[in-house]
Amino acid sequence: MVDTRDLATLAVDIAREAGALARRRRTEGVAIAATKSALADIVTEADREVEDLVRDRIAAARPNDGFLGEESGAERGTSGLTWVVDPIDGTVNYAYGIPHYAVSIAVVEGEPHPEDWDALVGVVFSPAVDELFRAERGGGAWLGESRLAVSDPTDAGALLATGFGYDPATHAGDLARLARIMPVARDIRRAGAASLDLAFVAAGRLDGYVERGLQPWDHAAGALLVREAGGVVGGLPGEAPSRAMTIAASSALHATLSERVFHES
């Protein structure tokens, strides 16, 4: 039997330590280490240093667990558990000094693929504002001592978040998708950190979130937050969130957004 409380405590401690390192490195100045899928898709030296810290802390405390990180790839363990980590989600914000980035840590059971795993713990920590969102399977989603709950849109429409890929070839499709959901939107936010968008859906700060192109570490922790706050997270119709699509909202709004996202006429 997996003790999710102990896992959550460890994840929170590691996220706070990692966030403190990221914030300290931000004040010292950011060095760009490399680009990834496109020139705009960057990696900072801090991304790598923070992920190394997280990996080292996990290895010391739970040497049999697996690890899936944005910067260092996948490493299978023998325990059946995998830690899915985005060391600095919102790297472009981070590099530009925009105080909207997060350390995202999830612990999942099963194969290290979103369609095959069962998320046990999710932690999203925003160092710039010292907010830590956490969830355990079956234990709800929390910000401090406040239990989180997804919201339903008012008559003014839904406050929605989205994002756009770094590859210019995908932008036309992203904009067309945005046009299809605008009729149900009160307004759109594009803040640049998927884990925080999902955490904000869980907290009722956003009504819904739609984005194509997310990697597993982008949504692993945030998706559990949304589900434990009473919401729905999915991807293509009937599937788990994936690079093809991620949609998060209350049940009713999720159905509405899915219909608009996948109905192109």
Tokens 């989205």 correspond to what residue?
Answer: 162
Distance separating alpha carbons of residues 250 and 152, to the nearest angstrom: 6
Distance separating alpha carbons of residues 41 and 104, to the nearest angstrom: 18
- Whole-model pTM: value is 0.94
Distance separating alpha carbons of residues 195 and 6, to the nearest angstrom: 22
pLDDT class for 41, splitting at 50, 70, 90?
A: very low
What's the whole-number mean pLDDT along residues 144-166?
Answer: 95
Of 141, 137, 123, 129, nearest to 12 by C-alpha is: 123
pLDDT class for 37, splitting at 50, 70, 90?
A: low
| pLDDT at residue number 70 | 77
Write the pLDDT tens digit of every residue in 49-81.
899 999 999 999 999 999 998 777 678 899 999
pLDDT class for 115, splitting at 50, 70, 90?
A: confident
pLDDT class for 35, splitting at 50, 70, 90?
A: low
Among 71-75, 131-135, 185-189, 248-252, whose mean pLDDT is lowest? 71-75
| pLDDT at residue number 3 | 86
Distance separating alpha carbons of residues 39 and 163, to the nearest angstrom: 17
Tokens standing for residue 229? 């706050």
What's the whole-number mean pLDDT along residues 110-126?
Answer: 91
